[in-house]
Amino acid sequence: MEQVSTELKKGPKPETVKEGKVLVIDDEIGPRESLRILLKNTYEVFLADHVDAGLELLKECKPDIVILDIRMPGKSGIEGLQELRAIDPVVSVVMLTGFGALDTARQAIQLGANDYLKKPFDTKEIMKVIQDNIDATHLARKQAHVTEDLRNLNTELVSELTVKEHMACLGHASAEFVHDLRNPLTVVNGYVELLEEQLGGLKAKLGDESDEAFSYLNVIARNIQRCYEITDMWRNLGRDDGSNRQDVALVELLRDVVRGVEPLAISTRAEIITDFTTDPGEVRIDSLQVFRALQNLMTNAVQALPEIGGRVRVVTSLEGSAVIIRIEDNGCGMTSDQLGKIFEPYYTTKELDKGTGLGLAITKKVIELHGGSIGVESTEGEGAAFSVRIPRIHDVA
């Protein structure tokens, strides 16, 4: 059989921006040419008249969607689908089926096809199906790229954490470094899990879920950057000379912290409730330092919650010239003995492999460096409430 790839040889016109690459594999010249003519003005089209030729084009051109006929002489579309998935597990595949082959089309879906269309196909329907599936391919590829970056970053961080743990005896700063990297990595891992679950629903149609999936990617990117910022901070031994302080809208910072902790809450079926009706305006702070302090408090609150009905409430208020941030939970609470030690370095109520006992000590130090204070109220079995007090720089109109 002769391989057909007319559009590959010609290529798109230099002045035309194509919206994606489409590979059509069909032994019948009629449907094959009809698709080429229909799609050529919008997409870069590649054609093959049998499966093996199509698989070669798949490797060479990396299309965004493959339109594959089910019934072909020699190697069938079903066999081709299985080989195609071994080469590219992400690219969207739409099967073409004639009358009487719907059962085979449904089998193709089970084997990894994204959709199927019946011959003769409707022009408007196939254009929509093609664009939806191209969008799905782009999103899945971006997710795969981000996931690979995360794996590489995680490998580097684990390696550096190992070194820092061996250096813990040299000083408190090394142990703090180990602790600080755990929270951003928890956020990253949580959003990766959510994103993988989200993208699992895109096999059939992309739908309206793409915006939410892309928002997860943005959160991941922000937290990767935060990991690098923390690394840079500890290269400077964590000194706070005030040079990194800026006027920051506190409510926006709190919303960012909540977004970061939400995956942990979702994984434990807990709820985070916010009440920012009192907007304290701006505070002059090192936003990275205060972010990590507040993230420590919210993460601890979520981890203390019961398995069912867990709730964390975050409230802002004003008290004279100070901003009050109150973080309440309905978790296990603390005894009076625990309350007396809670801000001591290395003291923890968690299991040895789940906490270093540095989180609240770091939080207290950060808040006090900003001229503020932190207090806690708790009764065993009835939850806890942490109150953070930070000086305000601007009065709210």
Each residue of 140-168: pLDDT tens digit?
888 888 888 777 777 777 766 665 555 55
Is 130 a domain residue?
no
Is 92 a domain residue?
yes
- Residues 8 and 21 sit within 8 Å (Cβ to Cβ): no
Strand partners, 21: 44
Selection from 328, 209, 192, 201 nearest residue 273 by Cα = 328
Which 8-state DSSP code applies to residue 122? P
The average confidence (pLDDT) of the chain is 79
User: pTM for the full model?
Assistant: 0.46
Is 241 a domain residue?
no
Asked whether the predicted pLDDT for residue 8 surpasses 50, the reply is no
Domain end marker among 63, 87, 121:
121
Question: Please, is 238 exposed, middle or buried when counting C-beta atoms within 10 Å of its C-beta (0-12, 13-18, 19+)?
Answer: middle
Is 370 a domain residue?
yes
Residue 335 to residue 384: CA distance in whole angstroms? 10
Pair (30, 145) in one structural domain: no
Convert the pLDDT of each residue in 259-279 to its tens digit: 888 888 888 889 999 999 888
The three-state secondary structure class of 325 is: strand
Is 129 a domain residue?
no
Strand partners, 96: 69, 117
pLDDT (average), residues 229-233? 60
Q: Please state, for a pLDDT cut of 70, what percent of the chain lies above it.
A: 70
Domain limits for position 314: 246-391
Convert the pLDDT of each residue in 314-342 to its tens digit: 999 999 889 999 999 999 899 988 888 88
Residue 51 to residue 76: CA distance in whole angstroms? 7
Q: Cβ–Cβ contacts within 10 Å for residue 114, how many? A: 23
Residue 291 to residue 254: CA distance in whole angstroms? 8
Q: Which of 49-53, 109-113, 142-146, 217-221 has the lowest mean pLDDT?
A: 217-221
Number of domains in the chain: 3
Convert the pLDDT of each residue in 353-367 to its tens digit: 555 566 788 889 889
Contacts of residue 394, defined as CB under 8 A and 6 or more positions apart, other chains included, come to 247, 281, 282
Host H or E run for residue 57? helix 51-61
Asked whether the predicted pLDDT for residue 388 surpasses 90, the reply is yes
Q: What are the two backbone dihedrals, phi and then psi, of residue 363, each rounded to the nearest 5 degrees?
A: -60, -45
Pair (25, 60) in one structural domain: yes
Pair (78, 178) in one structural domain: no
